[in-house]
Amino acid sequence: MKVPLLDLGAQFDSIRDELMSAIEAVMESQRFINGPEVAELEKQIAEYTGCASAVGVSSGTDALIVGLMALGIGAGDEVITTPYTFFATAGSIWRVGAKPVFVDIEPDTFNIDTTRIEAAINERTKAIIPVHLFGQAAEMDPILALAAKHDLFVIEDAAQAIGARYRGHSAGSLGDIGCFSFFPSKNLGGVGDGGMVVSQDEQLGARLLQCRNHGSSPKYYHAWVGGNFRLDTLQAAALLVKLKHLEKWHQARRAHAALYDELLAEIDGVVTPVVRPHNESIYNQYVVRVPRRDACQKFLGEHGIGSAVYYPLSLHQQECFADLGYSTGDFPESERAAAETLALPIDPELNDEQIRHVANVISEFVAAG
């Protein structure tokens, strides 16, 4: 039995007609830049996440960059985030000229350990970027309290968490700015790159809108420098089709997660994901700790099962950030997660039999010692 990590082809088969006709409509209109689908998607994402404004951008990475730029964060500023995330989180901070400052993660949720943030704040700190890793929101209440106390911005990296909830609120709607990615492997994925930046502040929303179009307002007049961070009409059209199915896909992932939780609980040495009672995860990934991780991944592969390591090297250990002065050992939980975790297939298109097969193969691996 084959169990792919991701089965975008199966998803495409299930929505082929809707998707092709939406794409064809854009081709017929020839409105590739700022077509009406872009504004419609922005309206629907604002509604879906409970935000006052939503601005489509060219990727999740650019959502972070646009957010940082619109808040005026740059050279001389520090931004606190986690070292256990996709590179873009810290890469974006670096790209606007600011300095990423890392804080270790909680061992159970893999999200930033909020009890360690205050020690990293100084007079140069301008913002905190919590990452809602693997589809579960970071602990936002203490983060928002610290931000209020020290007058900092909060930019949520919700690239993996569109539709996730924290105490009933949508991920991305709690901070000053929320960033989503429509990279094809995200729960809501485009047919190429795309992203969205959301805010509860309409004035900030207007600034985000200017930023994605060279800071222009009105056209050809620039009070400040933005960039070309636009979302293609074709992407917006595809995303509008997929958004209609998103909740159903989240539900399928949650059902797979519940089945894994039950089956894997009986296997010695396997640690299943912890979702806090006030959180609703969208399980962009289902990440477990397994004994002898690399051998386990190889064994799964030999049995036709896809898996992935998110992420094999913490960001404080990346060569490009050597100048930040961190060393191995600085963030032990992040480093331990990088060494011990494995993402298992949780694609909505999988069936229970496939999930059971994955659990059986892991059980076999552990029993063989």
Ligand X SMILES: *Cc1c(COP(=O)(O)O)cnc(C)c1O
For ligand X, the closer CB: 86 or 249: 86
Give least dist CB 108 to ligand X, A.
18
- Total residues interacting with ligand X, rule: CB under 6 A: 15
Beta bridge partners of 271: 289
Nearer to ligand X, 64 or 344 (CB): 64
Q: How many whole angstroms separate alpha carbon 357 and alpha carbon 369?
A: 19
* Residue 213 neighbours by CB distance under 10 Å: 18
Which of 174/267 has CB closer to ligand X?
174
* DSSP code string of 232-254: BHHHHHHHHHHHTTHHHHHHHHH
Contact between 158 and 281 under an 8 Å Cβ cutoff? The reply is no
* Minimum distance, C-beta of residue 88 to ligand X, in the bound complex (Å): 4
Handedness of CA 175, 177, 181, 187 (dihedral sign): positive
Tokens standing for residue 277: 């009672």
Provide the minimum distance between the beta carbon of 228 and ligand X in the complex, in angstroms, as a whole number. Answer: 15
- Give the span between the Cα atoms of 170 and 158, in whole angstroms: 10
Pick the closer one to ligand X by CB: 82 or 213: 82
Which one, 7 or 157, has the nearer CB to ligand X? Answer: 157
To ligand X, the closest distance from the beta carbon of 172 in angstroms equals 12
DSSP state of 96: T
Angle between helices 233-243 and 36-49 (to 10 degrees): 40
The one segment of 30-38, 120-128, 152-160, 332-340 that binds ligand X by CB under 6 A: 152-160
Using the minimum distance from each CB to ligand X, give the nearer residue, 44 or 185. Answer: 185
The rounded radius of gyration (Å) of the Cα atoms in the chain is 21
The least distance separating ligand X from the CB of residue 166, rounded to whole angstroms, comes to 16
Whether residue 54 contacts residue 196, with contact meaning beta carbons closer than 8 Å, is answered with yes
Between residue 296 and residue 355, which ones bind ligand X under the rule CB under 6 A? none
Task: Residue 127: name the closest of 105, 145, 151, 91 by CA.
Answer: 151
- Residue placing its CB nearer to ligand X in the complex, 66 or 359: 66
Given candidates 26, 38, 159, 257, which one binds ligand X under the rule CB under 6 A? Answer: 159
Q: How far is the CB of 197 from ligand X (least distance, A)?
A: 12
Interacting span for ligand X (CB under 6 A) from 48-56, 74-82, 155-163, 292-300: 155-163
Cis geometry, peptide bond prior to residue 311 (ω within 30 degrees of 0): yes
Sites for ligand X among residues 86-125 (CB under 6 A): 86, 88-89
Nearest to 189 by CA among 60, 317, 46, 296: 60
- The token duo for 369 is 């010692």
Q: Which residue is nearest to ligand X (CB)?
A: 60
Q: Yes or no: say if 225 and 84 are a contact pair by the CB < 8 Å rule.
A: no
Between strands 99-102 and 286-289, the pairing is unpaired
State the Cα angle at 342 between 336 and 344, rounded to 5°.
Answer: 160
**Cβ(180)–Cβ(158) under 8 Å?**
yes
x/- contact string, 173-212, with ligand X (CB under 6 A)? Answer: --------x-x---------x-x-----------------
Cβ 311 to ligand X shortest distance, Å: 10
Find the binding residues for ligand X in span 55-84 (CB under 6 A).
Answer: 59-61
DSSP state at residue 118 = G
Closest distance between ligand X and the C-beta of residue 79, in Å?
14
How many beta carbons lie within 10 A of that of residue 211, not counting itself? 26
Closest separation between CB of residue 85 and ligand X, Å?
A: 5
- For residue 163, state whether it binds ligand X (rule: CB under 6 A): no
Per-residue binder mask for ligand X (CB under 6 A), 120-149, x = binder: -----------x------------------
Site for ligand X in 23-62 (CB under 6 A): 59-61
- Least distance CB 359 / ligand X (angstroms): 26
List interacting residues with ligand X (CB under 6 A).
59-61, 85-86, 88-89, 131, 157, 159-160, 181, 183, 193, 195
